Chain A
């Protein structure tokens, strides 16, 4: 496939072509490269610099302190706690969203009724509206005294629940909001993937007498592999950034039960103005995310291969 891919010719030097034609390909990538350097590469250098310093906000001076910020981080229980919280959220949210999204996508794909496609924009509404609006709606609905959820619970004879107060369920409440907001995204990607599977595959499976479950395992899942991988990766990456939800729903509380790494960094850098300490935490987060993303990618790809070979053997039986 690589060999078949063709490129446009570039003229040799002898030709009398204008400067901008000769260096056209570089001119085209120039803006993006500059933006990336200015907005990502250079700031990362800055980040490393800052992490090795203590910021004195009275004098506005940076003092070099070596790796002190990092060693302090390792002993900071609040930081460790924020990592654990973030991991808990990532796991719960990604797992439930992928499961629910996959179920909904398969269900929706198998249904045939008029006006089905008109339902699609409605089903994906939550992912379209601003995150902060979503947080607002749920904050109102979760309200202990006036929230609709507790009102309904009371109405059917239960006691009120401190959705965002109770340390035992505060994180789960935040997860629920994320499920409401982003399951539609998972659904949309997987549904698009399902739509790309030709009908003949299912017809052939039917002719071979495979059951619905077999068809799902042997046909749908393997063919949906790329979309599933994509969605799991994107959700894992995005849930690792959890910030605005905990900021306005729980404020990281009760106690520190919902404080995430992002929130920790935000507070260190912009509330307590420990810029150096925040930068060190940022670097740790960066490494964790890249490590987690990379290993997840590896695990998923290897896992998909194992699944494929297992199911492949089954289909011979």
Chain B
């Protein structure tokens, strides 16, 4: 691939998956109890998108990666301390809610406005990346609407691989039903790729990359525009935790043969 790529990755933070989450309902709708106190991480699928973008940019000289992130500024700063060490990028920050209960339509509007505001971005060469779903709202609908707002109609979701050819065309593997990948060939940019897991391991922390990134991260956070998401027209009747406790029967000291018979009998029950 000879033509440099312009890759914009959309991604924010989510509560650390190991945290216990509890919903609370206030005048503005549902949220998480002690939301601002919860340790946060980069949204996992958006993280895969960022690592794939960095890898693609590294292999395509002259390319550049931007990370467009919507979230509370203080929390974004915390998360960036780690994320900035993983891959080179320029941050575009938006100060607003990263809650799972906000509306994807309005979130998409805020993200697309921020992308439109990136100075020097050549949208004809744009690869728009994001997670195919977030680990908060889990809607898998935001990125399609961001792309629509930017006029991008070559869209792929659940992407595990992109192979870019010298002529600028690329092959994409998308997850579809029954554990298969759909293979598509797209002859040119711009395009949206909503990433699933991809194929790359999480990069190791690189302090040098972190230091280089932080030179632009802190100013980006300081000039982050407010992006209130009102979620107008959306009403929650209830948000509840599932009943998690089951009366587990603990079976100790039973011979393996007997356990096997019990399991096979259980498998045969309707």
| A associates with B | no
Interface residues of B (CB under 8 A from A): none
